[in-house]
Each structure stands twice: as structure tokens, then as C-alpha cells.
Chain A
């Protein structure tokens, strides 16, 4: 028998904690490997580049990596803490520091290596499925072939081997200093419970109020952005302070409620929680932040997904729009394609755009020119009729209406128009026409990109332009109201692939869904990862306390505590551990989402409620499972 065999016996005794550590590490490796795998997959890479999702996947892969590293650090240190006593005893009977270090390093490395192998192996096995799934989400027509990238394997192995090595070395290092004294002290000196400090609690509350205010203050993006980060920073600090001071205060208040405190089980629950308040606050804080980090993007994606239809109708209200040069035939091709698919047209409109330049003085000596599309009020109103419920426009006082500028709606001023071929435009040239215009914030039709905004004028003025000037920048857009816009999405996509400038509600909708799905996929993984991590953290928390608590409860059983009562104590403790951070996270997420919603004029409520309910259910399941295993482990 050697000291190593004895150490090995210990390992097998604590297999539950080792398994948890191992599984979560393997999971992190697996996730990372798959995401890196996508980036080194030839087909997927090309496709992701095309739809411009490559950076997103890159960000997610690095998030996963950062997170995996943090998680492994946390897990291994929680794990070490759980074993302080045991390693302290080794040290007490004279195990050399380097032997203890060796044990810790060896264990970490073994777990790490196995986790890397399992994670990469699992990645290779499930990679085919995963790539197919990504292909589906990206709506690739052919099945995505499996591709094992050696670069991905090497990258994953190297990164995680490095992480585990580092964790091992650091772990051994902290233990070297801690172990013996720890055993000795815990044997004799109970820790003093932390005291409640008014000023800390006040700082926490003020910080939270200030943070929330900064985020909720009305204002557009440019005003809000500089307030956002300080707001979030304040929120973070305040959350920690409040968890710490709040739990001390709440528990002390409960303690002073003598009637409650001396009901046997609550006495136990309270005094125990008070005792562990410092550790608890840290875990509660981390869990609540992680949960916020999941809730916010999840709600955004759910919202994007469920509101895709409404948004498509808002951003692109006309069933099909074709842009072309004057007298172009693209719309015939588009109509033929619709017909092939049996899609009917209810109504159509032509919007001929006359090109004109207009000047804008940015400084007394500096003028910029921009192009507007000029249309007559009669053709614009035909266009308007394509969308149900849109009011026609009327011109008053001979003023034109300018759409799609960022000037303030309701203002009016005189607009100089430069007409005819391009070459003549420029500083110093007198305007061909000066026209009073009114700025409107009504949505403009999507124009060919060379047009900056749309100018609606009297029919008479338009004919004057028609007669006097010509420009090769003129264009026309044709709009079609469809009987069934959704089905036109794929047709429009096909036409676009032919090079036609076609757009439409169905196509926008399709794109939004794709965005939503890709978001779901990417987020799905992040959510699963964070969610599991949250669970792991709570799990570690519970089980690092287990051995100490088991002794305590066994002593209490001797004084006549019943199993049912223990169950109640543990329920109460676990309940707080799980749901206090969730409540805080929900509040945080709601504030952040309200801020985001302000910029997009969307309503988060329904999606937020849905996400909340889903999360409560998942957390509830987690809670029940954790409580069960914990009680079982405690009583065994």
C-alpha cells in the first residue's frame, strides 16, 4: 500500500463530486469543439460567410471558451474546498506538500484528460448530426457532409489541456497554504456570523436604484448608450452587496422573530443559512448574473421569432416590389414566376421615380447634394392603396411632401431642385426649381439605393419636370398586392437569385425567420450551457456543504429531530438558493429588456412572460431534483 493508493481510495469515495466536475467539463469541451468545428467546416463556413453569420459564430465560440474556462476554474476550486478537510488530514499526518500537490494535480489532470477525450470524442460522434442541423437552420439545399477538421481537434485539445494544467497548478498552490490550519481551526473555532452593516446595505440599494434608473431613463440610443454601461456596472455591484447584506438582514430579522425562530426547523434553517452567508452570497450572485445573461437574449430571440410576421408586415408591407429602370421588363418575369406557383395578384401600382438632386447646406460654405426620387401625388396614392388601411396623401398650399429623411416631421422649408443630367449639378449652379416642402414621417417605400428620399409633388409640377428634363438616373418601382404573401417568399428568393431587384413581405418574413432560427440555434447552445452551469454551481454548492451538514444533522437526529423536519429545513434552504437569484435575474432582465424595447418600439411583455414561465418550469424541475438527491445523500 502506498500513499497514492490511499489517495485513490478517497477519489472513489467522492465519486459524486468527481462525476459532476467531469461531466460539466466534458460538456464544455464538447460544445467548444462543435462550434470550432463549424468554423473549420468548408461548406458551412462558406455559407456562414455568405449570410454574414461567421462573426456571430466566432463570438459564440469565444464565449463558450471563456465560459468553459471560468467554469472549470470555479468547479475545481469548489471541488477543492469540498476536500479541504480531507487534504488537511493528509497534511496533518505529515504528507509532504509536494505529495499533496501531486495528488491534486494528478486528479485534475486525469479528470481533465478524460473530459477532453470524452468531449472531443462526443463531438466527433455527434458532429454529423450537429452539422446537419446547422445546415437545416441555414436552409442549405444539400445535406452537409461530415468533415473532421484536425485544426478544430488540435485547437480544442490544446486550449483545454492548457486550462486544466493551469487549474491543477493553481489548485495545488492554494492548498499548500491552506490545508492544515483549516483542519485545526474548524476543529476548534466556529466562524462568527457576518454582521449587518447599514451603510453597505444603503450603498447596495442606492446602487441598484441608480442602475435601474440609468437604464430606464427615457431617451434614444445615442442618449442612452453612455448611460448603459455605468448602469449595468452599478447593477452588478449592487446585486452582490444586496445578496450579502440582504441575506444577513433578512435572516437576522427572522431570528428576532422569536416565535418563528424557536419553531425548531426554522431555527435550524435560519442559523445555518446565516452561518454560510458569505459563500451563499457569492453563489447567489453568480447564478443571478448567469440567469440574467440567459434571459435577456432568450427573450429577444423569442420575440424576434414570434413577432416575425408583424415585423415583416411593418418593414415591408407590400407583397412584392420590383425595382427596375424606366420601362423595364423585370416585373413581367416576376409575375410569370408568381403565376407558375399559382399565386394571384390583387392589385398593382407603378411608381415612376424622376431623379433630382437637392442641396443641403451643412455649413455656410459647404453644401452637400443628395438625390431624391420625385413622384406625382396621384401615382403615390395608387401605391398607397396597395396596403390596407393606409391613408392617401393630400398636398396643401402647393407644398410637396418629403419622405424618408431624418429631418423633424412637420417642419417645412424650401427645397432647391437640380434637374437633368448629372454633370450639370454642382456648387454655384443655380437651382432649376425651388419648391416649398413639408417633412413627413410616414414610411417611404423601399427605394433603389441611389435615392436618399422620396419627394411627392403636384401632378402639374411633375409634368413640368417631365417635359423639361431627362435623367438616366430615373427608375420605376412596381408594387403588387398578393392574395397570399407568405407563399411568395421562396419565389422572390428565387428571383433575387436570378439577379432581379425584387423584394416583398414574404421574403422579409422568411429572412427574419432565418435570423430567428440561427439566433435560436446559437443561443440554444449558450442557454443550455449557462443553464447547466447554473445547475452545476448550485449542485457544487450543495454538495460541498454536504459532509459538514451530514454530521450536524446526525447530531440533531440524536436529539430527536425527525426526518420530515430535516426535509423541511432543506426545502427552505434550497428554495432560497434556487429562486432568490431567479427573482433577481428576472428583475434585472426586465429592466434591460425594457431599455432595449425602447429603441425598437416593440413589446417585450408576451415573450418575457413566456420565457419566464419556461424558466420557472425548468428551474422548478432542477430544484426538485436537487432537493431530492440532496436529502437522499444527507440521510444515507
Chain B
């Protein structure tokens, strides 16, 4: 079943107030099936975040349409948009975006609380997702008291707990050391395999990217290339490096160094 269809997505920034317009996305096409784990790579400024924003209902496209689970996003406004986001989408960011005032557990259950779920169900769900992400003993700590990797796993738990149709992640491993990055990607990929969670993630890091099943490469707002993983992750990793090399761009020094 198709979870996400984006047709002819174009996004132009600026241009009204005399600013030079920037075409961040240019007729982009994308289709994601249920249970896919899709990575998006591309040089800085190529439009990755923009794509995620359009898919995530944060921003509206200049032209084109996004359909998630048969819902045309352009038809949604106000409350409808918030409800859709609450039920169908989960977000993970580079800088975690947890609320400092709440414990990890309270942070994780936010979407369910907003949905007004019964307490027992909430407890049940939080237990499950915390187990999957290896966070059980950290649940009652505050964000300030845990490591970056644990924070990011809590953010992931919050993005997953309401079993959304689609999880959107923007450089989730960007602020993590390589070990935490790997363990997060492993957790995501196992959730993807066991629960068939559909994930769309942007990443700069070829190692993190190698956990995905399919990778789209963007350049200048257009699709540059697309590769699929076979069974061997090591082989996939080298494929990724090859594409990146043909693409050019300066932003991979860090990623190489980290390996």
C-alpha cells in the first residue's frame, strides 16, 4: 500500500519582498510504500529539509501535491492539520527537541496525552516502545540528565508511540557520536522490520544511510539518483559512497572522518 505520494513538488522561497527567489525543490516526484525505510541524501542546500517540511505539513508547496494515506495535504487547514500531524506523522530532529521540563516518559507520551488516550493504554505503549529503543531505565529522568543518544532515542520514541503512518527524520544522527548514531539507526531499522514502520530520513552520513532500504539522492531540488539495498549492508555503503562521489559537493568530509 502506498503511504506517501508526492507529485511535481515545487517550492520557491522568497521572491515577494524583492528577495531573489530560490527554487529549493523543482518538480520533485516521490512515492513511498508502507513499511519502507527511505533515506534522502544530497549536498547542503539541495532541498532535503524543504522536502521534509512539505511532506510534514509544516510548509505548503508552491505547486504540486502531497498525498499521505489518501489524504491530500492541500485540503487540510487549522485543526485538521494539527490532528493529521498528531495521528499520522512522527518527527525526529537533529537537535532532539525535547521539552526540558518533562521527563523522558512525559515527553514520549505527549502525542497520546493530546489524543486523550486512557492511562492504561498509554502505560502499555510507552513500555513497549521504550523496550524497543532500550530506554526502560531512563524513563523517569529529565533530558538534561541523559546522554545525547538517549535523548535522540526518546525523541524517536515520541515519534513512534502513536504508530504514525510515516516517521520523518531530519539528520537524526547529526548530533550523535558514531556509536550512538549506529545504535539509533539499528533501532529504527529493527522497528522498520518488525513493525513495518514507514520511515523517511534525511542524512549526511553514509554509515547511517546504509541502514536504509532505498536512498534518494537530491541535487538542486531534483532527483539525481536512486539506489536500493540488497542483502549486504557493506556493499550498499560502498554504493552510496560511489554515488556521492559522482555527485560532488563538499559536505562529506565529516562523514568520511567519522567512519
A181-B101 contact given A6-B113, A94-B85, A98-B79, CB 8 Å threshold: no
In the bound complex, do residue B79 and residue A3 qualify as a contact, i.e. CB atoms below 8 Å apart?
no
In the bound complex, do residue A86 and residue B99 qualify as a contact, i.e. CB atoms below 8 Å apart?
yes
Closest to A636 in B: B144
A188-B94 contact given A93-B111, A93-B158, A96-B83, CB 8 Å threshold: yes
Chain B: minimal CB distance from A547 (Å): 7
In the bound complex, do residue A89 and residue B78 qualify as a contact, i.e. CB atoms below 8 Å apart?
no
Assess whether A91 is interfacial by the CB under 8 Å rule: yes
Contacts of B53 in A (CB 8 A): 181, 184
Assess whether A95 is interfacial by the CB under 8 Å rule: yes
Chain A: minimal CB distance from B108 (Å): 10
Q: How far is the CA of A9 from the CA of B105 in the complex (A)?
A: 14
In the bound complex, do residue A9 and residue B82 qualify as a contact, i.e. CB atoms below 8 Å apart?
no
In the bound complex, do residue A92 and residue B97 qualify as a contact, i.e. CB atoms below 8 Å apart?
yes
Closest to B97 in A: A89
Assess whether B120 is interfacial by the CB under 8 Å rule: no
Q: How far is the CA of A6 from the CA of B158 in the complex (A)?
A: 15
A1-B95 contact given A94-B83, A188-B49, CB 8 Å threshold: no
Q: How far is the CA of A411 from the CA of B79 in the complex (A)?
A: 85
Chain B: minimal CB distance from A108 (Å): 18
Assess whether A259 is interfacial by the CB under 8 Å rule: no
Out of A10, A90, A96, which one reaches B79, CB within 8 Å?
A96
In the bound complex, do residue A94 and residue B113 qualify as a contact, i.e. CB atoms below 8 Å apart?
no
Assess whether A183 is interfacial by the CB under 8 Å rule: yes
Assess whether B223 is interfacial by the CB under 8 Å rule: no
Assess whether B217 is interfacial by the CB under 8 Å rule: no
A3-B114 contact given A91-B82, A96-B79, A181-B58, CB 8 Å threshold: yes
In the bound complex, do residue B113 and residue A2 qualify as a contact, i.e. CB atoms below 8 Å apart?
yes
Out of B56, B58, B102, which one reaches A9, CB within 8 Å?
B102
In the bound complex, do residue A10 and residue B49 qualify as a contact, i.e. CB atoms below 8 Å apart?
no
Assess whether A12 is interfacial by the CB under 8 Å rule: yes
Contacts of B59 in A (CB 8 A): 181, 184
Q: How far is the CA of A9 from the CA of B122 in the complex (A)?
A: 19
Chain B: minimal CB distance from A198 (Å): 19
Assess whether A97 is interfacial by the CB under 8 Å rule: yes
A97-B94 contact given A12-B101, A189-B49, CB 8 Å threshold: no
Assess whether B86 is interfacial by the CB under 8 Å rule: yes
Residues 1 to 20 of chain A near chain B (Cβ within 8 Å): 1-3, 6, 9-10, 12-14
Assess whether B110 is interfacial by the CB under 8 Å rule: yes
Contacts of B236 in A (CB 8 A): none
Assess whether A180 is interfacial by the CB under 8 Å rule: yes
Q: How far is the CA of A2 from the CA of B122 in the complex (A)?
A: 12
In the bound complex, do residue B114 and residue A14 qualify as a contact, i.e. CB atoms below 8 Å apart?
no
Assess whether B170 is interfacial by the CB under 8 Å rule: yes
The bracket for how many chain B residues form the interface is 35 or more
Q: How far is the CA of A551 from the CA of B151 in the complex (A)?
A: 14
In the bound complex, do residue B93 and residue A97 qualify as a contact, i.e. CB atoms below 8 Å apart?
no
In the bound complex, do residue B114 and residue A93 qualify as a contact, i.e. CB atoms below 8 Å apart?
yes
In the bound complex, do residue B86 and residue A93 qualify as a contact, i.e. CB atoms below 8 Å apart?
yes
Assess whether A588 is interfacial by the CB under 8 Å rule: no
Contacts of A188 in B (CB 8 A): 49, 93-94, 170-171
Q: How far is the CA of A14 from the CA of B100 in the complex (A)?
A: 10
Q: How far is the CA of A94 from the CA of B83 in the complex (A)?
A: 6
In the bound complex, do residue B97 and residue A94 qualify as a contact, i.e. CB atoms below 8 Å apart?
no
Contacts of B106 in A (CB 8 A): 1, 6, 9
Q: How far is the CA of A184 from the CA of B98 in the complex (A)?
A: 13
Contacts of A1 in B (CB 8 A): 106, 109, 113, 119, 122
A97-B82 contact given A3-B113, A181-B58, CB 8 Å threshold: yes
Q: How far is the CA of A508 from the CA of B82 in the complex (A)?
A: 72
In the bound complex, do residue A97 and residue B79 qualify as a contact, i.e. CB atoms below 8 Å apart?
yes
Contacts of B49 in A (CB 8 A): 184, 188-189
Assess whether A627 is interfacial by the CB under 8 Å rule: no
Contacts of A481 in B (CB 8 A): none
Residues 87 to 131 of chain B near chain A (Cβ within 8 Å): 87, 91, 93-95, 97-102, 106, 109-111, 113-116, 119, 122
In the bound complex, do residue B101 and residue A9 qualify as a contact, i.e. CB atoms below 8 Å apart?
yes
Closest to B119 in A: A1
Closest to A184 in B: B58
Q: How far is the CA of A98 from the CA of B49 in the complex (A)?
A: 27
In the bound complex, do residue A180 and residue B58 qualify as a contact, i.e. CB atoms below 8 Å apart?
yes
In the bound complex, do residue B100 and residue A94 qualify as a contact, i.e. CB atoms below 8 Å apart?
no
In the bound complex, do residue B86 and residue A94 qualify as a contact, i.e. CB atoms below 8 Å apart?
yes
Q: How far is the CA of A94 from the CA of B164 in the complex (A)?
A: 12
Interface string of B25-60 (1 = CB under 8 A from A): 000000000000000000000000100010010110
In the bound complex, do residue B79 and residue A13 qualify as a contact, i.e. CB atoms below 8 Å apart?
no
11 additional contacts, CB 8 Å, given A94-B115, A96-B82? Answer: A6-B102, A10-B101, A89-B97, A91-B82, A93-B85, A94-B85, A95-B114, A96-B83, A99-B114, A183-B93, A184-B56
A-B pairs, top 10 by smallest CB distance, nearest first, are: A94-B86, A13-B101, A187-B93, A188-B49, A10-B101, A94-B85, A93-B110, A96-B82, A93-B111, A184-B58
A-B contact pairs, 10 of them (CB 8 A): A3-B114, A13-B100, A92-B91, A93-B85, A94-B85, A94-B115, A96-B79, A181-B58, A187-B93, A187-B170
